[in-house]
Structures are given as C-alpha cells and as structure tokens.
Amino acid sequence: MDTARPAAFSYSRALAPLMWVFACIMTLELVVVHLLVAGLSSHLAAAILSAVSLAALVWTVAFVSSLKRRPVLVDAAGVTMRIGSLKSVRVPAASMKAVLTSWPRERLKQRGVLNFALIDYPNVMLELDPPLQGRRPVHTIAHRLDDPAGFVAAIRQHSESQR
C-alpha cells in the first residue's frame, strides 16, 4: 500500500485573477443597479436586487478563496479533479486512459467533456476509459493547472508504479 502524500497541483494562479475581475465587475453592477432602480422605481425593489446581488458577490468571493485551498490531487489510487468548492470528481487510476496537453479546440465542445477551466482555456485533458457515470457519462476532464508538466509527470509516475 502506498502511504505517500498525494501530489497537489494548484490552479489558482490561472483562474483566480480572472475571477477577481469578475467579482469587481459584480460590485460595480451592484452599485449601478441599486442607484438606477432606487432612482427610477422604488427603494424596496432596489434593496431586494441589492441583497440578491450582494449574496451572489459573497458566494463568488468565497468560491475564489476556495480555489487555493482545494488543489487537484494525484496519488497511486487516482486523481481528484477539483474546481474549488464548486465541484470535485474522483477518477480511479484504472479509468485513466491518457493525459493530454494539446488537442483540437472542437474537442472541448463534445458531449462527455467536463471542463473545469471555467473562464480560461484548459491546458491538461484527462481521457477516461471506462467513462465516469453520473447524470451523463464523462469521457474527458479538462482543467487549467498552474503546472501542467508536473501534473503529467505525476500521472505517468503513478501509472508506471502500478505496472
């Protein structure tokens, strides 16, 4: 049994800055909508819209903060692909068919592709066979990692140690 610590791969350097820009835009939108609705309609409607916008902003800030705390993990048993507190998928080592660092752009639009890169273009793609079962089968997981070469090396190292 392998008791080594899993290798952790962050993705916050790539995604967090874009998400912080998104949070800043949300803040501006909150202020502008509040002022417009309060001036043109009613203060109650402005307060309700502001409360909803503020809740969304708080959730976004908490999500962006979780990107650094919840890295992608690679160990002998498989890979835990994460996108902060939003989603986590465990991929058993036996399901990993290949890990890619380049592919045609159309590939991301195919059915069965789970894209964890959110608002950025992914730099690693994990092909699965057999696919992960859920609401719909997942054949491929794409992600934007800060160290794609290290991720590929860790997967290959664990694959070779399984043989």
149 and 90 in a single domain? The answer is yes
Q: Is 27 found in the same domain as 79?
A: no
28 & 107 share domain: no
Task: Provide the number of structural domains found in the chain.
Answer: 2
Six-digit token string for 118: 């959110």
Handedness of CA 74, 131, 90, 19 (dihedral sign): positive
**Cα dist from 82 to 33, 39, 143, whole Å:** 34, 43, 9
pLDDT in tens, 2-57: 457 889 999 988 888 889 999 999 999 999 999 999 888 889 999 999 999 999 99
* Domain-terminating residue out of 21, 47, 69: 69
What does the pLDDT look like over 54-105, one tens digit per residue? 999 999 999 999 999 999 999 989 999 999 999 999 999 999 999 999 999 9
pTM, full prediction: 0.81
SS3 110: coil
pLDDT score of 134? 83
Q: Are 30 and 60 in contact (CB under 8 A)?
A: no
